[in-house]
Structure 1
Amino acid sequence: MACANVTHTHHRKTNVPLVHGAKLANYLRPMRVVSLVPSWTEFLHDLSVDVVGQTKFCVRPPEAFRRVPRVGGTKTADVEAILALKPDLVVANLEENDREQVEALQEALPSSAEVWVSDVRTVRQAWQSMEELGQRVERSHEAQRMTLAIQENWGEPKPLVAEAGYAVWRAPWMVAGHDTFIHDVMRWWGIGNAVAPDLPGRYPTLAQEDVHGLRSADTWLLPSEP
């Protein structure tokens, strides 16, 4: 007996109330998602979500970067371009995106759509947010499976073996403070934060002499950007 190839796609109906005012229609269609957060964009593509718009910094996966329309930067999102894509869900982050732009989107989007804003400051919060976003895009099982795989790979927090500073910006020098996701990831892998915990702000600004004065740092960690 010949068997037809069947592709299973997650769909939803409209005009039935859903969470946070999102509604289902009288017809079936995939959820349309715009992501303004590079890390969440990659996660959404891994979940096979229909990402219809993303920022110019959402470079992974490369195939999606070439294919998916870009809607500006993480802090310079094009609100009109996003609205034109008619998203059901816009994914944002409290730290990474511009608050005024996020609020403008919340005001301009129809009641059938929502803006989901994450605020991740610890490793465990990241895992919780992965599962929450998976629920939002109707991929709960896949998100839970990915989260569990990461948890098994990371194991438990490691003993402290080194001290390091983590610079997030130059001119002026800005470093990751203690109330940040970066700090928690470092600590998880046994790397203490050489930046004093009492410095003001989550990303303190340091003068050049202050950077040289962090003598407890065994090394400095630098992101690929900037």
Structure 2
Amino acid sequence: MVSTVLIALLPLAAIAAPRCVEDDVGREVCLEQPAQRIVALSPGAVELLFSAGAGEQVVGAVSFSDEPPAARKVPRVGSYKRLDLEAILALKPDLVIAWRSGNPAAQIEQLERLGLTVYYSEPVRFAMIGGTLERFARLAGTGPVGKPVAEQFRAGIKALRERHDDAKPVTVFYQVWEEPLMTVNDQHLISEAIRLCGGVNVFGGLPALTPRIGREAVLGADPEVIIAGGMGEDNPAWLDPWREFGSLTAVRRDNLFFVPPSTLQRPTPRMLEGTRRLCKHLEQARARR
């Protein structure tokens, strides 16, 4: 009789056991039960949570959290650079997903002092995107949804890497912002996408993650390809000023390409789509030599 009772209680014990994961700063984050009220403090984290099957549990988001479309209906709690702490507290979240390098550190620390559970998210490599999906799914109790999405992303990245493993190098300038003119160095996730496609970031050696540069520096580097994001998902206007510089190799060969910014500038599964586009553009550049 005793053994039967113990066996019957095992599933309940498993459900009641704390679910613990390690966040991207190496801290253990534990919840007694799946998170039901999640506040996400970056557009990328919002998208990752929806991809992990936890969209219905997201009760607060920051401005520009626009993917998937359902995320646009989530109440706002300020911008990622300036959080509305009162709005966050009013939502009574059982989990807050913070952006380590993007959110104001003092505000996040204040949320922790007030007793909120904070997970610091900072996926800086393709491998970390899949892992983040799985950890979010564990915290939210949506593993059956999140795990297949993570596996599909890993498989897609692996296939792209194998396809372009022997591709001839192409020098690339990636424009992440127009005014001030900004790019990325080799430590940035975007540069991993560039390398995967056989590209060489002409500003990869700069010390800052997202360095500010001048147009003279781009002219001096003379990249074979210029890739730009933009102010919107279908607005390639940032490429137009470069057409004035006919001496640039990228201009002479018509290698000015646009990639929708949210597909490369957010660490989400849609980076697979953005990287595919990037690889296609570099293949076009090789064909125009």
TM-score range, shorter chain: 0.7 to 0.9
Distance 2:148 2:62 in 1: 27
What is the match of residue 3 of structure 1?
none
Select 2:49's aligned residue among 20, 44, 51.
44
SS at match of 1:174: coil
Which residue number corresponds to residue 127 of structure 1? 130
* SS at 1:177 equivalent: coil
Q: Does 1:145 align with 2:151?
A: no
Quick check: 1:57–1:74 contact (8 Å CA) kept in 2? no
Q: Residue type matched to 1:190 in 2?
A: G
TM-score (norm 1): 0.80
Instruction: Give distance in 1, aligned partners of 2:30 and 2:154.
Output: 32
Measured in 2, the distance between the counterparts of 1:37 and 1:196 equals 25
**Which one has a bigger Cα radius of gyration?**
2
1:31 paired to 2:39: no
TM-score under structure 2 normalisation? 0.63
Higher helix residue share: 2
C-alpha distance in 2 between matches for 1:155 and 1:21: 31
- Does the 8 Å contact 1:33/1:90 carry over to 2? yes
Query: Are the aligned partners of 2:174 and 2:226 in contact in 1 as well (CA < 8 Å)?
Result: yes
Change (3 A) 1:133 1:73: same
Residue equivalent to 2:75: 69
Identity among equivalent pairs (%): 27
Seen in structure 2, the aligned counterparts of structure 1 residues 180 and 149 have a Cα distance that, compared at 3 Å, is same
Q: Does 1:91 align with 2:94?
A: no
Secondary structure, counterpart of 2:172 in structure 1: strand
Tell me which of 183, 190, 195 is aligned to 2:203: 195
Matched, 1:183 2:191: yes
Residue 133 of structure 1 deviates from its aligned partner by 1.8
Counterpart of 2:12? Answer: none
| Cα deviations by residue, 1:34-72 (Å, 9 ceiling, x for unpaired) | 11121221232231431101112101222331x211111
Coordinate RMSD, CA, aligned? 2.5
Of residues 108, 112, 122 in structure 2, which corresponds to 1:106?
112
CA deviations on 1:67-123 (whole Å, 9 max, x unpaired) are 211111111111110111000111122233222222222222x2xx41111122211
Tell me, in whole angstroms, the C-alpha distance in 2 between the residues paired with 1:115 and 1:145: 25
Q: Contact conserved, 1:121 with 1:184, CA < 8 A, in 2?
A: no
CA contact (8 A) 2:184 2:191 kept: yes
Separation in structure 1 between the aligned mates of residue 214 and residue 117 of structure 2, nearest angstrom = 41
Structure 2 unpaired stretches of 5+? 1-14, 21-28, 233-289
Match of 1:5 in 2: none
Q: Which of residues 218, 237, 252 is equivalent to 1:211?
A: 218
Greater strand share, 1 or 2? 1
Match of residue 172 from structure 1: 180
CA contact (8 A) 1:122 1:185 kept: no
The offset of 1:189, in angstroms, is 2.5
| Distance in 2, Cα, partners of 1:48 & 1:204 | 34
